[in-house]
Amino acid sequence: MTAQNEGDWPQAVEVLNEHGRSDIVLLCEHASNHMPAEYGRLGLEASHLQRHIAWDIGAAEVTRLLSARLEAPAFLSGYSRLLIDLNRPLGTLGSIPVLSEDTDIPGNVGIDVAERTRRAAIMFSPYHDRVAAHLDRRMTEGRPTRIVTIHSFTPVFLGVARPWHAGVLHDHAADLAESILSGLRTDAALNVAANVPYVISRDADYAVPIHGDDRGIPAVLVEIRQDLLSTRSGIEDWVNRLAAALPSQQMQAVP
């Protein structure tokens, strides 16, 4: 990377409110659809970078507003999930996909170990190292912590409609998930459920099992249907809902 193209290679992680007083730590691993020019959009038409295969539409905006509302630390990704998926374990099929939904990703076919290692070093490890350092510091300081990672999902997946407005996914943190769902269900019009539209798995998820469960920190993944985040008012509605469902303990800010 040279001085001429630094703007094309952003930091792997955008950090907001790192010393915020909330006990909630927000993650957004699919916040960005950015690809450096050298990747040539991985052989895809530009329109594909606006789809779910490249990022989680609306998730970054929800995370930023919720971080400000709750005074919560937030960690957002800087690169497209098509280059390397921050919520997939390294080396798995979903980490650097050659097929995403029903779309072939030509630029990911046949890449060598050196390129896989490069992407991990530039995009994956700096993000998770920063999150891990933050969580470890909180644990050392005895600060209560809950992890909430923000995602969005498509209304239809491979031809199958998904009726839910939102899901709260969990493994160990069933109590936290149920608390959030109870808060969301105060709106009787919402169709929300646990572990939809998929379930947490160590083969296919990273943040909840690694940053949360393995540390003994309650951790959940919130999925919101993308069509509900297509407008600013829709995004603000979901921020209001989540803020009400996630009452956070306010602590003295760390200098």
Written as one letter, the residue type at 40 is: G
Q: What is the pLDDT of residue 7?
A: 80
Integer Cα distance of 163 and 155 in angstroms: 7
End-to-end CA separation in angstroms for the chain: 33
Print the domain residue range for 177: 3-245
In a domain, 252, yes or no: no
Closest to 17 measured CA to CA, from 9, 8, 27, 4: 27
Integer Cα distance of 231 and 64 in angstroms: 15
DSSP string, 146-215: EEEEEEEE-SEETTEE---SEEEE-SS-HHHHHHHHHHHTTSTT--EEET-SS---TTT--IIIIIIGGG
In a domain, 43, yes or no: yes
pTM flag (> 0.85):
yes
- Which backbone phi and psi does 165 adopt, to 5 degrees? -80, -35
In a domain, 236, yes or no: yes
pLDDT in tens, the chain (255 residues): 333 356 899 999 999 999 999 999 999 999 999 999 999 999 999 999 999 999 999 999 999 999 999 999 999 999 999 999 999 999 999 999 999 999 999 999 999 999 999 999 999 999 999 999 999 999 999 999 999 999 999 999 988 999 999 999 999 999 999 999 999 999 999 999 999 999 999 999 999 999 999 999 999 999 999 999 999 999 999 999 999 999 766 554 444
- Region of residue 251 (phi > 0: left; psi between -120 and 50: alpha; otherwise: beta): beta
Residues in contact with 37: Cβ distance below 8 Å, sequence separation at least 6, in sequence order: 5, 8
In a domain, 104, yes or no: yes
Integer Cα distance of 46 and 7 in angstroms: 19
In a domain, 251, yes or no: no
CATH code, domain carrying 206: 3.40.630.40
Q: What is the pLDDT of residue 251?
A: 53
In a domain, 253, yes or no: no
In a domain, 254, yes or no: no
Radius of gyration of the chain (CA): 18
In a domain, 113, yes or no: yes
Q: What is the pLDDT of residue 252?
A: 45
Please give the tally of structural domains in the chain: 1
With tokens 């919402």, the residue in question is 190
